[in-house]
Structure 1
Amino acid sequence: MERKKILITNDDGVESPGINKLVEELMNIADLTIVAPDRQKTATSHSLTIEGVLPIKEVPMPCGYKGFAVVNGTPTDCVLIAIKDIMKDELPDLLISGINLGANLGGDILYSGTVAAALEGLTQGITSFAVSLDSFSLNGHFETAAKAVAKIVETKEFYKNLLQERSILNINVPNIPYEELKGFIITRQGDLSYQNYVEKYTSPRNKNYYWIGGDRPPHEIDEETDSYAIAYKKVSISPINVDLTNYRLLLRLKKLLSELKL
């Protein structure tokens, strides 16, 4: 069987434990190319570097593999550089973004550089996954997420129609040992969103500065949602796409259009 060519990226940087554990798990079943930021780029969403240059360097990763680090690049920058240059003569069969430090559930995906990288892969015609672990600890169970992803990668029928459906898989994994997982479940994006806050401080020179943070509320009670699945020890798989249209509201507004006059 021909080995898959997989492009791996993330938003936590090329040295993060998540991407390294993913590489360790997949290196024996696929040919891997790693192109990732050289530093933490979380919550950069789908941003591109328009002003400034993007140097790139080949670096040894903690897992022993060699990867490309894009200096100060965003996840989307990394995907474009990989597809438009590094892999242009032999495009990847699959793009995997992750494993992210922290879950990407509900409204998180609007901020997520991890999910944005997968969506950029989709727009470039590459079947793509985003993968996140429900832990912000560097010592989290990334091996659990890596093994779950490997199972999905090896089940080609599961994702062979993603491109024609114009969708990616957003995969979230509980932070528990692999043996404690209760299985896979197909979910929808929930409504869970961080409760953001802004803390204001004043420097000794009387200048104001701010710290932005957020607290995640409890999981949802809807059993079809991604956050519910994580709370009950299941791997959440949500098909999502770039179309943000509210179709129910679209139809209602069309009926009301006659009332809108210039």
Structure 2
Amino acid sequence: MHIFMTNDDGFESPGIIEMAKRLARLGRVTVIAPNRGRSSCSSSLSLQTYLRMWKKESYGENITVLSCNGTTADCCKLGLEHWLRNDKPDLIVSGMNNGLNNGSDCLYSGTIAGAMESIFLGIPAIALSAETVKKPEYLAKAADFAFEVVKKYFVDSSYKGILSLNIPKEEEHIGWKDLKITKLGIQRYDNAIREMKDPSGHLGFWLSGTMLPDAVPDTDVFWIHRGYPTLTALTWNMTDTDRLAEVKEIADTEK
């Protein structure tokens, strides 16, 4: 099995290193990830930038590591359509991300974008996100569980779609018995935009905010804030099929 890995935290992130080491048990792993953090880059491409790639020291046996000075999507394009064009991977794994990517936050996530690049080649994929990758003991447990999910779905069950796994910080719930298979929800924030001034008195803004736990029940946002891991099936198609008939009806009134 050949697994392609990427992320938006950079090739030196503990999350991608720990996952690559585990996934190497399943076969060859090729990592192509940004040379620095690119969080919230979504599917952006560096169309006006000269892109470079560097070979990096391997994380371990059966793992090839390269970095690129572009975004997550850049890494995937270079990897899947050029570097590995004659060595197509069997699976794409994006992450493990430092931070959750639940609900509407998927619109901004470079981690989700990495998994979505699978649609162009018909390769199954999964995005992996943990509440933090900066605590070694927690990361080890989260990575072990993520490995089990990858193996169960893509090796044992030959799943062909795209998945997103989110793992909260409550370690006692990291396991199959607590996993919630659910849909995306709306992730709202408190104080998402902070107004401030620099030392010279110039007005500026800082995008941050605190995640709000209130959400519609039976969504990933609802469960993740209650300490449960979530798994969601994703697709790239944003067509609102429920409203297509209404849109057509409005247009028809002008004909």
Structure-to-structure mapping, 1:206-221, within 5 angstroms: 206-221=201-216
| Post-superposition offset of 1:76 | 0.3
CA contact (8 A) 1:15 1:62 kept: no
- 1:83 aligns with 80
Tell me the alpha carbon deviations over residues 216-251 of structure 1, each in whole angstroms, 9 at most, x when there is no partner.
Answer: 1115251x2112332344331111111112222222
- 1:235 aligns with 229
TM-score, normalised with respect to structure 2: 0.88
In structure 1, C-alpha distance between the alignment counterparts of 2:34 and 2:100, rounded to whole Å: 19
SS of the residue aligned with 1:154?
Answer: helix
Tell me the alpha carbon deviations over residues 92-126 of structure 1, each in whole angstroms, 9 at most, x when there is no partner.
Answer: 00000000111111110000000011111222322
Q: Indicate the larger mover: 93-102 or 20-29.
A: 20-29
- 1:199 aligns with 195
In structure 1, C-alpha distance between the alignment counterparts of 2:73 and 2:242, rounded to whole Å: 31
* Structure 2: gaps of 5 or more residues: none
SS of the residue aligned with 1:67?
Answer: strand
Q: Would you say 1:70 and 2:79 are equivalent positions?
A: no
In structure 1, C-alpha distance between the alignment counterparts of 2:26 and 2:51, rounded to whole Å: 31
Tell me the alpha carbon deviations over residues 6-58 of structure 1, each in whole angstroms, 9 at most, x when there is no partner.
Answer: 00100000111110110122122221001000100000000001012111111
Given candidates 240, 247, 252, the residue that maps to 1:253 is: 247
- 1:121 aligns with 118
CA contact (8 A) 1:21 1:63 kept: no
Q: CA RMSD in A?
A: 2.3
Q: 1:70 to 1:172 in 2, by over 3 A?
A: same
SS of the residue aligned with 2:142?
Answer: helix
In structure 1, C-alpha distance between the alignment counterparts of 2:17 and 2:242, rounded to whole Å: 42
In structure 1, C-alpha distance between the alignment counterparts of 2:111 and 2:50, rounded to whole Å: 22
| Post-superposition offset of 1:212 | 1.7
CA contact (8 A) 1:185 1:235 kept: yes
* Structure 1: gaps of 5 or more residues: 163-167
Tell me the alpha carbon deviations over residues 163-210 of structure 1, each in whole angstroms, 9 at most, x when there is no partner.
Answer: xxxxx1111112243775343231101122334214232442x54433
Structure-to-structure mapping, 1:106-185, within 5 angstroms: 106-135=103-132, 138-139=134-135, 141-155=138-152, 156=155, 158-162=157-161, 168-177=162-171, 180-181=174-175, 182-185=177-180
CA contact (8 A) 2:163 2:232 kept: yes
Say how many residue pairs are matched. 249
SS of the residue aligned with 1:255?
Answer: helix
Identity in percent: 27
TM-score, normalised with respect to structure 1: 0.85
CA contact (8 A) 1:20 1:63 kept: no
In structure 2, C-alpha distance between the alignment counterparts of 1:29 and 1:94, rounded to whole Å: 11
In structure 1, C-alpha distance between the alignment counterparts of 2:174 and 2:44, rounded to whole Å: 37
